[in-house]
Structure 1
Amino acid sequence: MGTEVENRADVLIVGAGVIGASAAFALAKAGHDVLVVDRNSGIGDGSTGSSAGIIRVHASDAQSSALAADALAVWNNWRGFLGADSTEEVARFVRCGSLILDAGTGFVDRAAAAMRAAEVSYEEWSLDEMSGHFPYFDFHRFGPPRPVDDDEFWSEPTELLPGALYTAQSGYVGDPTLAAVNLMHAAQREGARLRRSTPVVRIDLEGARVVGATLADGSRLRAEAVLVAAGPHTDSLVSAIGGTSDFRVRTRRIREELVHVPAPAGLDLALQGVHLVDGDLNINFRPELGNAFLGGSNGDLVEEQTVIEDPDEFDPLVTADVWERTTLRLARRIPALGIPRARTGVVGLYDAAEDWLPIYDRTCFDGLFVAMATSGTQFKTAPIVGELLRHVVETELDGRDHTAEPFLAPTSGRSYSTAQFSRLRDPRKGQLRG
């Protein structure tokens, strides 16, 4: 159960995924005594492990695009950022570029405007340029997105897509769990402590102030601040004590399946692969190690997504219907794609807000903070988000409003408003998942 000293910390972080580990690293570097606890036995065993690991710089708003670009600079210098020596295995960023097809939804225009405002480089490609670089894609317009059992889904297309945006600097991390492990090891080198297989059952309060948390074994941890970054378990922990009562934006737990499909014979994705953002067919794919594709749905444009009420009742097995419809959509874009007999993929439980933006904020209780709604969109920004959360925690503990003071990214010195990630924001002003 630990001694009194072992059970105390300046900051208690609930959750050892990539966001919690990044926050632990940033706070420990700043001199805080940090204790991280996680219900799982391994680091990054929750939503992080089921992430697609895509590192992209396009977004619907300038601040999100700029934050992704600042994080990309870290991914490009991952070992140096961690302070890891040459013997430590570290996650590898693979640059493959992102191709964002113009599906006529307005997303491409918004993304281009956001990248221009953020001074993030991109290219506008014509149909001929797309076809020249990626001849294995069929660039006909198949949309708007329809269920695969709709006869219109199989009708012969008559129009071609007009073009796309291309960001050469984008890519992916093939092992998101290893990235979380790297961050936690870096935090531990700075003095942070970690307890695995340690479920938190209650956040503890004295009046309107947090004082720590109670564990499943009945022991109590005490801290000046508690940051809950527990993925799909965050909402239930915080709402159980009324901590989400003033939230204007709501989160949901979504069952997300990523399918794994081998590339057609003769196609080498190490040379010709790209991260495809296809709003026309409602799919999002990237190359995967082993000359395969990994990806899934862009969101809830076609089939209603499966919302899970109880995160402990989540089934992590690949389902035949989701696997089939996702693979068939990819096969429309890649005519030579074979449909394998074995259904393989990754299934995760995502914590997502209604506007697909994360919540990095305090709560109505002093000293209680959340990092939530990060699944599916924020793996790419995780290295910078740790520093952003340090800013939020330190500013609020000092009695100041973090949304009134800009966060300065350590990689670029660029200024960010944390109000965009506030629990009190207008959810109608969020961004599309892309």
Structure 2
Amino acid sequence: GGFFVPSGGFIDDPQLAAQNLMDAARHFGAKVSLRTSVVAIEKSQNKVLGVQLNNGETIKSSIVINAAGPWSSHINDLAGVSETMEMSTRAMRQEVHAVPASEEFNIIDNPVMVGDLDLGFYSRPQPGGTLIVGGVEADCDPAVWIDDPDSDSPTPSIESWESLVWRLAKRVPEVSVPNRPTGLASLYDVTPDWTPIYDRTDLGGFYVACGTSGNQFKNAPLIGHLMKELIHACESGHDHDTDPVQVHCSMVNETVDLGTFSRNRKPVAGTGTVLG
């Protein structure tokens, strides 16, 4: 059996979407420093003072948000807050492979994403006449943890390509299998329960929006709203740890309990995969 979600969707060009978000941020006054890394978190008397960059620049700020993705655990270490958090984050390698689309399963006729938890893969069509296929953390696929995100290669491996593409071909026999791998590899930012951390920390003014575990990209605008409300409440003296902030989402008339995303929560029951 299975289920169909007609209101679902996907972003067929995440790089362009990220560029658009960056341009929008600049329009509203944000300064973007590309190809620049954080080398230190400045602090005094348990209060954050800013960040030091690898180009020698220091950005002074009483509020710092760690949204560093696969590098988030390193930033938390620099801030000295990792040991005070029950939840941690780790970088996990993920690969996505491309194959020619079939006549029945393509971006024009059937633009749907398919998740096959039996065979352990997901696939969707994309522009250019191809399908992409990736894994869903099946038990037969060992997790590949990366200690240094900067050292990982974006080149897909033969082993992952053979495993995932053949699973897709078994489910969609019309798919033709290329002679060599085509695709890319990147990193998820994963928590033990695959649920994000949107929270304050024990260092005053230092907040975290990390551990998104590969499933929060389309939620980015909402996450910005959640973090704004969280920071406003905490900086106004609210004790979020004992009385979690509740954020009303006017577009859907629902309330989000930010305690769900606490750094000190008990693990949330879920699939233990990118599906959340």
Normalising by structure 2, we get a TM-score of 0.93
Of 171, 178, 201, the match for 1:340: 178
Q: Which runs of 5+ in 1 are unaligned?
A: 1-162
Q: Which amino acid aligns with 2:160?
A: V
* Secondary structure in structure 1 of the residue aligned to 2:61: strand
Question: Are residues 1:413 and 2:253 paired?
Answer: yes
1:199-229, CA deviations, whole angstroms, 9 ceiling, x for partnerless residues?
Answer: 1101111021101011113332110100011
Query: Residues 268 and 184 (structure 1 numbering): CA distance in 2 closer, same or farther, change over 3 Å?
Result: closer
1:333-356, CA deviations, whole angstroms, 9 ceiling, x for partnerless residues?
Answer: 011221111311121011111111
Number of residue pairs aligned between Structure 1 and Structure 2: 272
Instruction: Tell me the equivalent position of 2:67.
Output: 229
Of 142, 156, 169, the match for 1:304: 142
Of 253, 269, 272, the match for 1:429: 269
Kept in 1, the 8 Å contact 2:41–2:52? The answer is yes
Shift of 1:394: 1.4
1:279-321, CA deviations, whole angstroms, 9 ceiling, x for partnerless residues?
Answer: 1001011111122211211114212111111112111111111
1:60-88, CA deviations, whole angstroms, 9 ceiling, x for partnerless residues?
Answer: xxxxxxxxxxxxxxxxxxxxxxxxxxxxx
Instruction: Tell me the equivalent position of 1:196.
Output: 34
Instruction: Tell me the equivalent position of 1:293.
Output: 131
1:235-257, CA deviations, whole angstroms, 9 ceiling, x for partnerless residues?
Answer: 11212342111211222111100
Shift of 1:198: 2.1
Question: Are residues 1:261 and 2:103 paired?
Answer: no
Instruction: Tell me the equivalent position of 2:205.
Output: 367
RMSD: 1.7
Q: Which amino acid aligns with 1:230?
A: A
Kept in 1, the 8 Å contact 2:106–2:125? The answer is no
Normalising by structure 1, we get a TM-score of 0.60
Shift of 1:267: 5.0
Instruction: Tell me how far apart the structure 2 counterparts of residues 299 and 361 of structure 1 sit (CA, whole Å).
Output: 26
Of 213, 226, 244, the match for 2:51: 213
Kept in 2, the 8 Å contact 1:254–1:307? The answer is yes
Instruction: Tell me how far apart the structure 2 counterparts of residues 396 and 342 of structure 1 sit (CA, whole Å).
Output: 52
Kept in 2, the 8 Å contact 1:391–1:407? The answer is yes
Kept in 2, the 8 Å contact 1:231–1:372? The answer is yes
Kept in 1, the 8 Å contact 2:197–2:211? The answer is yes
Query: Residues 353 and 325 (structure 1 numbering): CA distance in 2 closer, same or farther, change over 3 Å?
Result: same
Question: Are residues 1:404 and 2:244 paired?
Answer: yes
Instruction: Tell me the equivalent position of 1:112.
Output: none
Of 142, 160, 166, the match for 1:328: 166
Instruction: Tell me how far apart the structure 1 counterparts of residues 93 and 75 of structure 2 sit (CA, whole Å).
Output: 19
Instruction: Tell me how far apart the structure 1 counterparts of residues 119 and 139 of structure 2 sit (CA, whole Å).
Output: 10
Q: Which amino acid aligns with 1:414?
A: E
Q: Which amino acid aligns with 1:408?
A: H
Q: Which amino acid aligns with 1:186?
A: A
Q: Which amino acid aligns with 1:426?
A: K
Mapping for residues 160-171 of structure 1, pairs under 5 Å: 163-171=1-9
Q: Which runs of 5+ in 2 are unaligned?
A: none
Query: Residues 401 and 295 (structure 1 numbering): CA distance in 2 closer, same or farther, change over 3 Å?
Result: farther
Q: Which amino acid aligns with 1:222?
A: K
* Secondary structure in structure 2 of the residue aligned to 1:321: helix
Taking only the aligned residue pairs, the percentage that are identical comes to 33
* Secondary structure in structure 1 of the residue aligned to 2:60: strand
Of 284, 303, 313, the match for 2:151: 313
Of 268, 276, 290, the match for 2:114: 276
Q: Which amino acid aligns with 1:416?
A: V
Kept in 1, the 8 Å contact 2:195–2:268? The answer is no
Kept in 2, the 8 Å contact 1:277–1:284? The answer is yes
Query: Residues 386 and 181 (structure 1 numbering): CA distance in 2 closer, same or farther, change over 3 Å?
Result: same
Mapping for residues 20-35 of structure 1, pairs under 5 Å: none
